[in-house]
């Protein structure tokens, strides 16, 4: 009888120890998983994966990086990120953190946003409002909506990139990106104009370009047929 009790106690102890070990292993694995997600909230030299490849492709499309998107964040990618950051008034540390990712239209894995679609929509509205404020804050309200509409028309056109961020940051596309005014905080008017354009209002009726006739110097732009004028801008 005593032998049976001893065996039972030993078995019970073994089971308890095994259960504790399995629980501890699962906890460590969960912690490691959370750490991996947190680490993915910033891309830097040494990072690899699909998110890096997506970021590289954006930089290639915008003319900041040459070659293929291989998903490996090396020194060449870092230099391209720093170039992008300098051109857009960001801290040129070569690390794709929250601000740089937002400027690229890139959703980092470590984001705590509950809805990716609503986050994307909010990010697009914010970026578009920055463009409106940087490009047309002195224009009549219709003219501000028109500038936002041009960005959206380019997104729809097969001749341009297919996202708002890609269109905005395409090399040489918008003066406000080149001179850093895109980083100014938009006022409510600019936000409303961006929202109206996203909701379907297009005062330009499909135009893909606009310019100020008083300041424009591009012969190619000046040679384009003007469809209409709104405020100081000619749309074509």
Q: Where are the domains of the chain?
A: 50-104, 117-235
For domain 50-104, is the CATH number 1.20.1730.10?
A: no
| H-run or E-run covering 233 | strand 233-235
**Scanning the structure block, which residue is given the tokens 């947190």?**
38
Instruction: Show Cβ contacts of residue 41 under 8 Å, excluding neighbours closer than 6 positions.
Output: 97, 98, 108, 109, 110, 111
CA dist 51 and 34 (Å) reads 17
Query: What confidence score (pLDDT) does residue 113 get?
Result: 38
Contact between 98 and 57 (Cβ < 8 Å):
no
Task: Report the alpha-carbon angle 77-105-156, nearest 5.
Answer: 115
Query: What confidence score (pLDDT) does residue 23 get?
Result: 55
Query: What confidence score (pLDDT) does residue 4 get?
Result: 56
**Scanning the structure block, which residue is given the tokens 């990716």?**
116
Q: Which candidate, 50, 55, 57, places its Cα nearest to that of 94?
A: 55
Q: What is the mean pLDDT of each run of 10 residues along the chain (236 residues)?
A: 55 54 49 42 88 86 83 92 80 88 72 44 87 95 95 92 89 89 93 92 94 88 92 95
pTM, 2 dp: 0.56
Q: List strands edge to edge, sheet with 210-211.
A: 210-211, 233-235, 228-230
Query: What is the DSSP-derived secondary structure letter of residue 185?
Result: P
* Relative orientation angle of helices 50-61 and 75-87, to the nearest 10 degrees: 50
Q: Which candidate, 166, 62, 180, 171, places its Cα nearest to that of 124?
A: 166
Query: What confidence score (pLDDT) does residue 100 get?
Result: 84
> Domain 117-235 - what CATH class?
mainly alpha
Query: What confidence score (pLDDT) does residue 115 get?
Result: 42
């Amino acid at each position: 009888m005593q032998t049976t009790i001893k065996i039972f106690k030993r078995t019970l102890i073994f089971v308890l120890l095994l259960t504790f070990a399995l629980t501890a292993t699962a906890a460590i694995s969960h912690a490691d998983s959370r750490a991996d997600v947190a680490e993915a909230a910033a891309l830097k030299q040494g990072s690899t994966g699909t998110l890096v490849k997506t970021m590289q492709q954006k930089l290639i499309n915008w003319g900041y990086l040459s070659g293929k998107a291989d998903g490996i964040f090396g020194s060449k990618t870092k230099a391209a990120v720093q170039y992008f950051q300098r051109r857009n008034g960001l801290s040129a540390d070569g690390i794709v953190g929250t601000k740089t990712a937002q400027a690229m239209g890139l959703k980092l894995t470590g984001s705590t946003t509950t809805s990716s679609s609503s986050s994307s929509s909010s990010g697009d509205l914010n970026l578009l409002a920055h463009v409106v404020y940087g490009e047309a804050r002195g224009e009549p309200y219709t003219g501000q909506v028109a500038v936002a509409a041009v960005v959206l028309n380019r997104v729809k056109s097969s001749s341009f990139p297919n996202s708002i961020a890609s269109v905005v940051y395409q090399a040489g596309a918008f003066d406000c990106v080149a001179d850093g005014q895109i980083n100014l905080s938009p006022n409510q008017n600019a936000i409303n104009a961006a929202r109206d354009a996203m909701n379907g209002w297009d005062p330009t009726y499909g135009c893909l370009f606009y310019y100020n006739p008083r300041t424009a110097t591009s012969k190619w732009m000046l040679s384009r047929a003007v469809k209409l004028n709104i405020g100081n801008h000619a749309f074509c």
